[in-house]
Each structure stands twice: as C-alpha cells, then as structure tokens.
Amino acid sequence: MSEQLEYRSVFAPYFDSFLKMKDTMGYGLNKFRRIFLELDRFFLETGAVDAYITSKQIAAWGKTRVNDKARTLYDKYSILSQFCRYMCHLGHECYIPRLPKQKDIDFIPYIFTHQQMDMIFRECDKMAVFNRNMNSALFAIPALVRFLYSTGVRIGEALPIRNIDVDYTLRRIIIRKTKNQMQRMVPINLSLEKVLKQYEVYRDRMPIKSLVDKESFFFVSTIGKPLTHSTVYKWFRKVLRQCAIPHIGKNQGPRVHDIRHTSAVHSFEKMVKGGDDIYCALPILSTFLGHKTIKGTEKYVRMVQEIYSDIVAMENPVTSFVFPTNLK
C-alpha cells in the first residue's frame, strides 16, 4: 500500500510486519495504517534511533494529541499498546501504555421510542429525490433502516453484506465483516423477509447486470455502487428532521448506530414482558448483538434499567446480581 511505503522511521519494518500479521487475522488495516503513519512521523521528528519505545516517548507523543477527541485518542492508545506488546514479543523491550479510562469516552446512546421508530419508517418511505443526481442512496434507505432495527447489526457490518450472504430458505444472513472479526448469523423474521424481497424486486429492475451476482453488494445506490457510511448518515439526518427528532449533540446523537442500541433495548423489553426470565434473556441478547461476552452487553442492561425500571421490578428477587445497585 502507498501509505506503507511512507514509513521511514526505525520502526518502519515492524509496522509492516505487524500489518501483515493483522491482515492474516482478517482485520481491516486502514485505521492501523493511518495511526502508524502518524507515529512514524513522530518518531522521525523526535530522532528515534533505537527499536524500542519508552514511557517518556509515549508521554511526549501524548502531548501532541491535544486536539484528538476522546474516542479517537482511545483508539490510538489501543493500537500503540498492541504494537508495543508485539515488539516485546519480538524481543524489543517496550513500555506498554495504559488505555484511557472507558468512562472518559463512553457515549450516551439515544434510544428511540416505539412511536419514533414508526415515524422513522414512514418518513423513510416518503423521502424523495428532487434533483437529477443518478447516484442516490435513498433507494435502499427504507430497507436498510428496517434491517438495522430488526437485526441490531452495526451499520459497518450491514453495508458489506453481499447477495450470497442472504439466505431466505434458511432464514438467515451471514455477517462476515464484524467488529470482533468473528462471523455470525442473524435471523430473518417474516416482516423483514417481506421488506428485503420487495427491495430486491425493485433493485433488480435497474439495468445493471452485475446486481444479481452472488458477490455483488446487497444494499446499493441507483448506479449499483455499495452505500457508504457518510451517505447513509446524511439521509438519516434528513429523516430525523422530518420526524422533528432534534440532534442533541455532545455525544448523545441521535446517530445511525443508535438504531442498534434501540433494537437491543426493545428486544430485551419484548422478551421480558413476554415472560422470559431476565437470567435467560441476557445471554440471548448478548448473542443477538454479536458480543463475545455478557460483559460487553452491560451498557444495554444499564439502559434497560434506566428506561424500563418496571421490567427490573418484575423479577428483582431473581436478578439482583444482574442489575447491581451500583451500576451507574
């Protein structure tokens, strides 16, 4: 890659070998390449000549990141920490930095009400294009938003889905590009199947032969190109304005990713109110969201506690350990 060729510090060969290792493990490399390029320039500017990283170097680098947002800084420290561990494994003693505390970067998800989700679906269906731009993502937005809500899938996991991943016979969709690098399957319920099949019928009428190929992207624009995060977010913001749902800001959204949080909370609510034991529902929710452990589902549990306190009261004697009183 072109960015790899720009590494010129003493750590250049180690950056390259680290990237090759991550590539074989199935990780996306763009973020690693970008952050390594920044680190590479820092080490060049500070005249690093030894292939090990000290605590003083890390502290000096940290002082240059004053304009980074908390989430961005956390990602950079995480990748730097991984790289330092990698160097130690190769025999180059490096200081391994501590990551910023999670509480400093936690966002507060916006949970849409059931009524708001109904409005969002209606407005998605009513949106129209008023110019002659042939490359519009609006065509797929109604189906995509319903897919995100029905499955709780991350937007970054939904956009890479290809036709071959959608199986109506087995009623499942394979999610290959996941945050945790672990493929998983999500179910297709009857209402979602109807939506996706309707979308496919209209999509396949476009005079683009490759649309029906197994390896072609499932969600596409009107010229057959895969949708991008920024384009989806742009249309979603328009839908929110039509619904009179204001953008709160200060890390409180609403964002496209908040559909995932809403899906989780609404699903959990439905299970418990339907008679499922919270003790049994929690692992199901964790699997539904694609988390490796139940701990990863903690933030969703906290949201259910705050929004639907009546649910917790329904089974409080059984689940006091699931919703501890100090869970703030």
Strand segments, DSSP code E, in the chain are 166-167, 172-175, 184-187
Assigned domain for 163 exists: yes
If asked whether residues 148 and 238 sit together in one domain, one would say yes
Q: What percent of the chain has pLDDT over 90?
A: 52
If asked whether residues 50 and 18 sit together in one domain, one would say yes
Bridge partners of 173? 166, 186
Cβ contacts of residue 197 below 8 Å, gap of 6+?
168
If asked whether residues 38 and 65 sit together in one domain, one would say yes
If asked whether residues 92 and 118 sit together in one domain, one would say no
Structure tokens, 38: 């920044």
| Average of per-residue pLDDT values in the chain | 83
Q: Does residue 291 carry a pLDDT above 90? A: no
**317 falls in which pLDDT band (50, 70, 90)?**
very low
Assigned domain for 250 exists: no
Range of the domain at 21: 2-104
User: What's the farthest any 2 CA atoms get from each other in the chain?
Assistant: 64
Q: What is the pLDDT of residue 271?
A: 79
**129 falls in which pLDDT band (50, 70, 90)?**
confident
Domain boundary among 200, 215, 242: 242
CA–CA dist 129, 131 (Å, integer): 6
If asked whether residues 155 and 203 sit together in one domain, one would say yes
Q: What is the pLDDT of residue 145?
A: 97
If asked whether residues 69 and 129 sit together in one domain, one would say no
Give φ, ψ of 27 to 5 degrees: -80, 150
If asked whether residues 179 and 238 sit together in one domain, one would say yes
**236 falls in which pLDDT band (50, 70, 90)?**
very high
CA–CA dist 158, 18 (Å, integer): 28
Assigned domain for 324 exists: no
Q: Does residue 64 carry a pLDDT above 50? A: yes
Domain boundary among 104, 135, 168: 104
Assigned domain for 248 exists: no
Convert the pLDDT of each residue in 133-152 to its tens digit: 667 888 899 999 999 999 99
Assigned domain for 93 exists: yes
If asked whether residues 234 and 125 sit together in one domain, one would say yes
Q: Does residue 318 carry a pLDDT above 60? A: no
**272 falls in which pLDDT band (50, 70, 90)?**
confident
Q: What is the pLDDT of residue 130?
A: 66
Q: What is the pLDDT of residue 99?
A: 86
Q: What is the pLDDT of residue 282?
A: 72
- 277 close to 312: Cβ distance less than 8 angstroms: no
Name the domain count of the chain.
3
If asked whether residues 157 and 87 sit together in one domain, one would say no
Name which residue leads in pLDDT, 98 or 320.
98
If asked whether residues 168 and 232 sit together in one domain, one would say yes
Assigned domain for 264 exists: yes
Assigned domain for 40 exists: yes
Q: Does residue 62 carry a pLDDT above 80? A: yes
Q: Does residue 246 carry a pLDDT above 50? A: yes
Structure tokens, 46: 């500070």
The model's pTM: 0.67
Mean pLDDT of 89-111: 79
If asked whether residues 139 and 232 sit together in one domain, one would say yes
Domain boundary among 104, 131, 160: 104
Assigned domain for 170 exists: yes
If asked whether residues 30 and 52 sit together in one domain, one would say yes
